[in-house]
């Protein structure tokens, strides 16, 4: 029998009561928390994914900024350039913020869970806003050149 299955050591019956109500369970099922303890595969997978995303975001922003500096002066940059740079920056900030929340505050109580939900929604909405702003700027620049 596996340790996850509860063991029944003793059954006692009281007179005139239902037998199912009288089962005494001495080894209940284990409880699991929402965040694994350090060193478990969940933490390791999260850290590897986070580091990959953070390095990818930083690499993309550095290559974008270096190419912009070589081809444009700061006064020639359009709103589309700024939205792309801001998107890379927000991605890096989100990776760092979610890591601090996950490892620093451990999402085990409702307040931290709500904070994580609000953090994710805020960054998602702002990223979508920047995406639509980028598309509107691109459409406007194509229309202006025609």
In a domain, 52, yes or no: yes
Over the stretch 31-88, which tens digit does the pLDDT of each residue have? 445 555 556 677 788 788 888 888 888 888 888 888 888 887 777 877 888 888 888 8
Domain range for residue 117? 41-145
In a domain, 70, yes or no: yes
- Site of tokens 């850290």: 47
**Could you say which DSSP state residue 25 is in?**
P
Overall pTM > 0.85: no
Q: Give the best-scoring range by mean pLDDT among 15-19, 51-55, 97-101, 141-145.
A: 51-55
Q: State percent of the chain over pLDDT 90.
A: 3
Residue 24's DSSP bridge partners are: 10
Residues 5-16 have a mean pLDDT of 49
Q: For residue 24, what pLDDT band results from cuts at 50, 70 and 90?
A: very low
| Token pair for 50 | 């986070």
78 falls within a domain: yes
Rounded distance, CA 97 to CA 85, Å?
A: 18
| Residue 21 maps to a domain | no
Residue 23 lies in a domain: no
Domain presence at residue 1: no
Three-class SS of residue 16? coil
Which long-range contacts link 106-113 to residues 24+ away (Cβ below 8 Å)? 106/35, 107/34, 107/35, 108/33, 108/34, 108/35, 113/34
SS3 85: helix
Confidence (pLDDT) at 48: 86
Looking at residue 33, its pLDDT comes to 52
For the record, the structure tokens of 23 come out as 């089962």
Q: Is 13 part of any domain? A: no
What per-residue confidence (pLDDT) applies to 17? Answer: 52
Q: Considering its fold, how many domains does the chain have in total?
A: 1
Dmax over Cα atoms in the chain, in whole Å? 93
User: Quick check: is 105 in a domain?
Assistant: yes
């Amino acid at each position: 029998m596996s340790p996850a299955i509860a063991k029944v050591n003793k059954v006692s019956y009281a007179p005139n009561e239902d037998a199912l109500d009288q089962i005494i369970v001495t080894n209940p099922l284990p409880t699991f928390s929402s965040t694994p303890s350090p060193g478990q595969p969940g933490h390791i997978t999260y850290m590897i994914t986070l580091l990959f995303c953070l390095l990818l975001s930083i690499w993309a922003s550095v290559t974008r900024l270096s190419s912009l500096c070589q081809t444009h002066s700061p006064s020639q940059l359009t709103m589309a350039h700024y939205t792309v740079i801001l998107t890379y920056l927000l991605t890096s900030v989100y990776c760092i913020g979610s890591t601090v929340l996950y490892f620093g505050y451990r999402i085990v109580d409702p307040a931290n869970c709500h904070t994580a939900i609000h953090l994710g929604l805020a960054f998602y909405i702002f990223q979508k806003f920047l995406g639509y702003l980028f598309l509107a700027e691109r459409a406007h620049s194509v229309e202006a050149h025609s």
